[in-house]
Amino acid sequence: MALISPSRRLRRTPFSDGVEAAGVKAYTVYNRMLLATVFESVEADYRHLKEHVQVWDVSVERQVELRGPDAARLMQMLTPRDLRGMLPGRCFYIPIVDETGGMLNDPVAVKLAEDRWWISIADSDLLLWVKGISNGYRLDVLIDEPDVSPLAIQGPKADELAARIFGDSIRDIKFFRFGLFEFDGREMVVARSGYSKQGGFEVYVEGADIAMPLWDALFKAGEDLNVRAGCPNGIERIEGGLLSYGNDMTDDNTPHECGLGRFCDTQTAIGCIGRDALLRVAKEGPVQQIRAIAVEGDQLPLCDRAWGLYAGDTRVGQLTSAAWSPDHQTNVAIGMVRMTHWDTGTKLRVETPDGAREATVQAGFWH
């Protein structure tokens, strides 16, 4: 593995001093910002995440803020999910599509008020798409990237740790809801959400100055809970079927191909830019779709490009994320498979840089 060259362009976060002090060993770059990938080792981080509680610097989930009288109209233009019934205080996972129905991002939308929204984005400059659309349609809405950096608290002891900082009422937040909680005299949006299946919260930290005080307070309060610095874990997120934009899907894919059809109300999402393109696929279904795939044999190499999936000589799909799961004692993987070969139990061949392996389509992810 090669080193990463620091530069201002690969932005540090308000928590970077804490991440470095915790002994980060490797990074990825996400939204032109540093995101830790390894502390002790991917396997040790995984085990700890499943048993204790971790604090994650996920500042890379940058916010696109929409404010103004046309904010709600613009939000609906971006997504085939029907947002009419969404109340302030709710978080919605929303596919965002272009005029062809291709995925541009798969963020979480946070509705702060009727005329104020945050879009907590995956890895693409969604700000530019939203600004371009708003400009072209001459909408009355202010769009920018505010000084907000999410910090995640994840793991089975996340409720206990969060309660020690924000009070016991935080235990009552329901999944994908948020509330306002105070830390050090500042109100913070805290949502029950996060990029793991271990449960926990995401704190939307507004203002870089309060970032390290919150980080330090969490580590002090969680000493007896064995709290550690962590990061989205490559094994755990594949076991749980958490998709990664840019890895498992790109703008080539519709939401339906990504298995996100349940987040699309294409018929009623009036105004959605990709609606026309998606109406047919919403009715007839996609011809390829994301599947959980188990791959035989010992630990696979790191998956840094699409690996072809074959039935005989015919390419029928590709794997885009893979890892050895200590808990399930198999290689867990995420792939896009054509409908002719996507049934549970279908045996395929995956071509990896280390040679061919047998692969089997699963009924679902592992959790």
Report, in Å, the least distance between residue 179 CB and a copy of itself.
Answer: 32
**Amino acid found at 101:** G
Q: Is there binding between residue 25 and a copy of itself (CB under 8 A)?
A: yes
CB-based contacts of 181: which residues, under 8 Å, 6+ apart? 166, 167, 169, 170, 187, 188, 190
Binding positions for a copy of itself, 310-349, rule CB under 8 A: 320-321
- The closest alpha carbon to 60, from 24, 30, 92, 102, belongs to 30
Q: Which is nearer to a copy of itself, 135 or 226 (CB)?
A: 135
The region of 25-33, 184-192, 200-208, 263-271 touching a copy of itself under the rule CB under 8 A is 25-33
Q: What Cα–Cα distance (Å) separates residue 282 from each residue in 80, 236, 264?
A: 10, 30, 8
Q: Which is nearer to a copy of itself, 178 or 215 (CB)?
A: 215
Q: What Cα–Cα distance (Å) separates residue 338 from each residue in 57, 286, 309, 315?
A: 36, 9, 10, 9
Q: Is there binding between residue 293 and a copy of itself (CB under 8 A)?
A: no
Report, in Å, the least distance between residue 147 CB and a copy of itself.
Answer: 13
Report, in Å, the least distance between residue 347 CB and a copy of itself.
Answer: 24
Q: Is there binding between residue 262 and a copy of itself (CB under 8 A)?
A: no
Distance between CA atoms of residues 81 and 92, nearest Å:
9
Report, in Å, the least distance between residue 170 CB and a copy of itself.
Answer: 32
Q: Which is nearer to a copy of itself, 252 or 296 (CB)?
A: 252
Size of site (CB under 8 A) for a copy of itself: 52
Structure tokens at 65: 């803020």
Of the residues 21, 41, 88, 137, which one makes contact with a copy of itself according to CB under 8 A: 137
Of the residues 21, 32, 268, 299, which one makes contact with a copy of itself according to CB under 8 A: 32
Q: Within its chain, how far is the Cα of 235 from the centroid?
A: 14
Binding positions for a copy of itself, 176-235, rule CB under 8 A: 234
How far separated are the first and last CA of the chain, in Å rounded? 29
Angle 123-105-277 from CA coordinates, rounded to 5°? 150
In a 13 Å sphere around the CA of 339, the CA atoms on its Cβ side amount to: 8
Q: Is there binding between residue 133 and a copy of itself (CB under 8 A)?
A: yes
Angle 87-92-96 from CA coordinates, rounded to 5°? 125
Q: Which is nearer to a copy of itself, 251 or 327 (CB)?
A: 251
Report, in Å, the least distance between residue 323 CB and a copy of itself.
Answer: 11
The region of 96-104, 113-121, 280-288, 309-317 touching a copy of itself under the rule CB under 8 A is 96-104
Of the residues 54, 63, 134, 193, which one makes contact with a copy of itself according to CB under 8 A: 134
Of the residues 246, 271, 285, 326, which one makes contact with a copy of itself according to CB under 8 A: 246
Enclosing H/E stretch for 293: strand 288-295
Of the residues 22, 24, 83, 141, which one makes contact with a copy of itself according to CB under 8 A: 24
Q: Which is nearer to a copy of itself, 80 or 222 (CB)?
A: 80
Report, in Å, the least distance between residue 290 CB and a copy of itself.
Answer: 14
CB-based contacts of 328: which residues, under 8 Å, 6+ apart? 239, 366
Q: What Cα–Cα distance (Å) separates residue 39 from each residue in 79, 216, 224?
A: 36, 17, 20
Q: Is there binding between residue 126 and a copy of itself (CB under 8 A)?
A: yes
In the 8-state DSSP scheme, what is residue 302?
Answer: P
Adjacent-strand bridge partners of 188: 181
Adjacent-strand bridge partners of 234: none
Residues in contact with a copy of itself by CB under 8 A are 1-10, 12, 24-30, 32, 37-38, 98-99, 104, 123-126, 128-138, 234, 244-247, 273, 302-306, 320-321
